[in-house]
Chains A and B, each alone.
Chain A
Amino acid sequence: NAGVTQTPKFQVLKTGQSMTLQCAQDMNHEYMSWYRQDPGMGLRLIHYSVGAGITDQGEVPNGYNVSRSTTEDFPLRLLSAAPSQTSVYFCASSSSLTPTYNEQFFGPGTRLTVL
């Protein structure tokens, strides 16, 4: 299994541009989520999904959209990039086979810079 994959690894955007960060998992996990990580801080939840067709907001959802059309994929869209969105973005997934969903499997991250 490849686990959780994210593309691209690095991205530079200009203010106002839009883009989609891709996330895919091949473990048939129901739960997927997006976090951002800023220097010296922990991870903050942006959006999450408990299954295909179901998404919900996390702690810092403004400026981001998500959709979940399949179990495998959970893309994150930046609508109009701002310098404040410069961060490292992590996608994670977990399974109901671990009923607490505490063990989340993280991807390698996407480092985004907005100029």
Chain B
Amino acid sequence: GESVGLHLPTLSVQEGDNSIINCAYSNSASDYFIWYKQESGKGPQFIIDIRSNMDKRQGQRVTVLLNKTVKHLSLQIAATQPGDSAVYFCAEKGDDYKLSFGAGTTVTVRA
């Protein structure tokens, strides 16, 4: 069964505000947790990953937080822009090559 899931299927954000996208996971043995972005009509695109022994990792305008105590992962997007409108997937990976994806959160940015 699916071990990675998202709290909310949709998120509406005002342009310029910060976005927080949440994800719950159940497989404590996963080595990595990864965020992907999928724009309409396109394939997913890698955003950022975090190793299971880390709590926080920052990228360009994005921060991923990992709380292993409650098995929770979040993606924070600073100063959300219209180009951030997309479906965001969290995924987990064990000690093999396979990714297991959650169902996705659709983010809509309001002008």
Chain A contact residues, CB within 8 Å of chain B? 4, 31, 33, 35, 40-45, 48, 50, 58-59, 90, 92, 100-109
Contacts and interface: CB of A to CB of B under 8 A. Distances in A.
Interface string B73-111: 000000000000000010101000111111110000000
A22 to B, nearest CB: 15
A103 B49 contact: yes
A102 B89 CA distance: 13
Interface residues of B, number: 24
B34 A44 contact: no
A31 B96 CA distance: 11
A102 B49 contact: yes
Interface of B: 2, 4, 9, 31-32, 34, 41-46, 49, 89, 91, 93, 97-104
Nearest to B1: A59
Contacts of A35: 101
A44 B97 contact: no
Nearest to B106: A40
27 contacts: A4-B43, A33-B97, A40-B103, A42-B101, A43-B44, A43-B99, A43-B101, A45-B98, A45-B99, A45-B100, A48-B97, A58-B98, A59-B98, A59-B100, A100-B31, A102-B93, A103-B46, A103-B49, A104-B99, A105-B46, A106-B42, A106-B43, A106-B45, A107-B43, A108-B43, A109-B42, A109-B43
B103 A100 contact: no
